[in-house]
């Protein structure tokens, strides 16, 4: 596992100033609480990078689905368009860096979890770092298991380079079991949102992810418990309007539960979304600063699917003077190319409302479920739903999530967990593919297969 080996055996730097350390120095580092903080920052730094939330996840989680597409399928040799057209192969150049970056996050977390017991310091502070490490590891494995299925479950620091080649893929049921265990342990150890720095994991974030994990496993009764805890905590509140939620000048609002931080004023710490999302050769979005790539372009069908009067359409989707569309969320004109100040919201309270309401519906409380979907529809300027038919509400929730959370990396995973991915994607007009069951998982990167004969490929790739 060449690239993932890099992720397992190196440490990242401070969240804001990257200064990688060599493996030879790792044994002499991470022996104090400030160095534990640096390990957590390294995990966050990997998440922030273009290999995860800063870029590549958009192709795995949005472009893969029906909301968005690539403006040009042949750009960069087709590596992005292939995700859109379900024709990616194991050597696709997005796969391996993303896999390695995920294991870099996991490696940083494992360093904390393995070493912190022997470090002197206040127990409360040590518990906070343990909670953060458990949360970040769980979220990363949750992303990986939904992308690749069975993945190596590595729970301890890899201190011998040769051991990295001994790991086999772990059955996804075991991975999910560990994710749940990590999140259940993390929740009571993490602070409330009001008690910690912006951008750091909180008890509400851990409970939110646990709720989505249970939804994904179709354990709806279990999902209700952590999701209700988030709602009852009063730590978060819906923004009054959808527009102010996505105003580029607003960061870490009262609705935000877990948000990836970017700072356009520090070299290498800005976000790339404006340059990524703006249609090719356009200047309206970026002010002409840097190249525009035409990634994650909203489809005409998605634009037309919003109900009349839904204020979310024009906040989610921008339209240039030449009528080309672009994803408007998380877009702020950069000061220099690919260096914008816009954050990326991973989880927010509206998502919890919709997940909780969906779980209520699936457990038979259809009347109770209506409150939560209508709360979100009301902010969007839409009339209340009145149906109490379980199947109708199930479809309504999937549709509501599409429009409330569009371009926020939820659509593909929502289609997967509701069993709709194949039928929805094969119904896309003008499609140049036929989605089969095996395409619901991505191929294991070829580099991993070449490095270890213990690594196996997903079927049919």
Do residues 223 and 175 make contact, with C-beta atoms less than 8 angstroms apart? no
The DSSP 8-state label assigned to residue 441 in this structure reads S
Q: So what's the pLDDT on residue 13?
A: 31
> What value, to the nearest 5°, has the Cα angle with vertex 68 and ends 423 and 355?
65
Sign of CA dihedral 306, 367, 234, 181: negative
Helix (H) or strand (E) holding 2: helix 2-9
| C-alpha 149: how far from chain center | 16
Do residues 407 and 296 make contact, with C-beta atoms less than 8 angstroms apart? yes
End-to-end CA distance of the chain: 18
Does residue 199 lie in a domain region?
no
Do residues 299 and 425 make contact, with C-beta atoms less than 8 angstroms apart? no
- What pairs with residue 298 in β-bridges? 68
Does residue 285 lie in a domain region?
no
- Domain holding 102, by residue range, is 1-190+431-440
Give me the tens of pLDDT residue by residue for the chain, a chain 461 residues long. 333 544 454 433 333 233 344 444 666 789 999 999 999 999 999 999 999 999 999 999 999 999 999 999 998 899 999 999 999 999 999 999 999 999 999 999 999 999 999 999 999 999 999 999 999 999 999 999 999 999 999 999 987 766 767 899 999 999 999 999 999 999 999 999 999 999 999 999 999 999 999 999 999 999 999 999 999 999 999 999 999 999 988 999 999 999 999 999 998 899 999 999 999 999 999 999 999 999 999 999 999 999 999 999 999 999 999 999 999 999 999 989 999 999 999 999 999 999 999 999 999 999 999 999 999 999 999 999 999 999 999 999 999 999 999 999 999 999 999 999 999 999 999 898 999 999 999 999 999 999 999 999 999 99
Does residue 81 lie in a domain region?
yes
| C-alpha 275: how far from chain center | 20
Residues contacting residue 290 through CB under 8 Å, at least 6 positions apart? 275, 334, 336, 337, 338
Q: In 10 A of CB 431, how many CB atoms?
A: 13
Sign of CA dihedral 121, 124, 127, 129: negative
Number of domains into which the chain is organized: 1
Q: In 10 A of CB 252, how many CB atoms?
A: 14
Q: So what's the pLDDT on residue 353?
A: 98
Helix (H) or strand (E) holding 69: strand 68-69
Does residue 15 lie in a domain region?
yes
Does residue 302 lie in a domain region?
no
**Burial state string for 4-13 with b = 16 or more CB within 10 A and e = fewer than 16:** bbbbbbbbbe
| C-alpha 362: how far from chain center | 24
Sign of CA dihedral 106, 107, 112, 113: positive
Does residue 334 lie in a domain region?
no
- Token pair of 156 as six digits: 């301890």
The DSSP 8-state label assigned to residue 145 in this structure reads H
Q: So what's the pLDDT on residue 12?
A: 33
Q: Residue 19 maps to which CATH number?
A: 1.25.40.390
How are the residues of the chain apportioned to helix, strand and coil, as percentages rounded to the nearest 5? 50, 5, 45
């Amino acid at each position: 596992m060449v690239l993932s080996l890099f992720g397992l055996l190196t440490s990242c730097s401070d969240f804001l100033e990257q200064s990688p350390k060599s493996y030879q120095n790792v044994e002499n580092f991470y022996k104090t609480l400030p160095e534990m903080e640096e390990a957590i920052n390294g995990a966050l730094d990997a998440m922030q990078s273009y290999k995860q939330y800063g870029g590549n996840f958009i192709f795995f989680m949005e472009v893969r689905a029906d909301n968005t597409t690539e403006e040009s399928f042949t750009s960069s040799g087709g590596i992005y368009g292939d995700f859109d057209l379900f024709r990616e192969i194991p050597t696709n150049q997005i796969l391996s860096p993303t896999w390695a970056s995920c294991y870099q996050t996991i490696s940083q977390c494992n360093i904390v979890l393995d070493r912190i017991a022997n470090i002197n310091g206040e127990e409360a502070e040590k518990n906070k770092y343990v909670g953060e490490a458990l949360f970040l590891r769980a979220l990363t494995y949750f992303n990986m298991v939904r992308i690749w299925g069975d993945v190596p479950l590595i729970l301890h620091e890899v201190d011998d380079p040769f051991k990295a080649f001994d790991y086999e893929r772990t059955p996804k049921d075991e991975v999910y079991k560990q994710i749940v265990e990590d999140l259940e342990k993390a929740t009571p150890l993490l602070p409330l949102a009001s008690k910690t720095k912006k951008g750091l994991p909180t008890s509400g974030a851990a409970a939110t992810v646990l709720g989505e994990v249970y939804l994904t496993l179709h354990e709806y009764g279990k999902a209700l418990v952590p999701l209700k805890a988030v709602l009852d905590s009063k730590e978060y509140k819906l923004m009054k309007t959808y527009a102010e939620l996505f105003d580029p000048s607003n960061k870490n609002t009262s609705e935000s539960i877990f948000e990836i931080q970017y700072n356009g004023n520090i070299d290498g710490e800005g976000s790339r979304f404006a340059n990524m999302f703006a249609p090719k050769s356009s200047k309206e979005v970026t002010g002409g600063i840097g190249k525009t790539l035409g990634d994650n372009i909203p489809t005409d069908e998605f634009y037309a699917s919003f109900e009349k009067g839904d204020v979310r359409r024009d906040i989610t989707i921008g339209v240039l003077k030449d009528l080309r569309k672009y994803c408007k969320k998380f877009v702020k004109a950069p000061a220099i190319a690919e260096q914008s100040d816009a954050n990326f919201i991973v989880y927010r309270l509206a998502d919890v409302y919709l997940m909780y309401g969906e779980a209520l519906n699936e457990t038979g409380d259809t009347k109770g479920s209506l409150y939560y979907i209508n709360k979100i529809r009301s902010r969007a300027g839409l009339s209340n739903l009145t149906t109490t038919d379980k199947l109708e509400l199930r479809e309504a929730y999937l549709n509501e999530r599409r429009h409330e959370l569009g371009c926020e990396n939820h659509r593909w995973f929502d289609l997967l967990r509701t069993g709709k991915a194949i039928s929805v994607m094969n119904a896309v007009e003008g499609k140049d593919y036929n989605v089969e069951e095996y395409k619901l998982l991505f191929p294991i990167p070829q580099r991993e297969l070449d490095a270890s004969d213990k690594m196996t490929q997903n079927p049919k790739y």
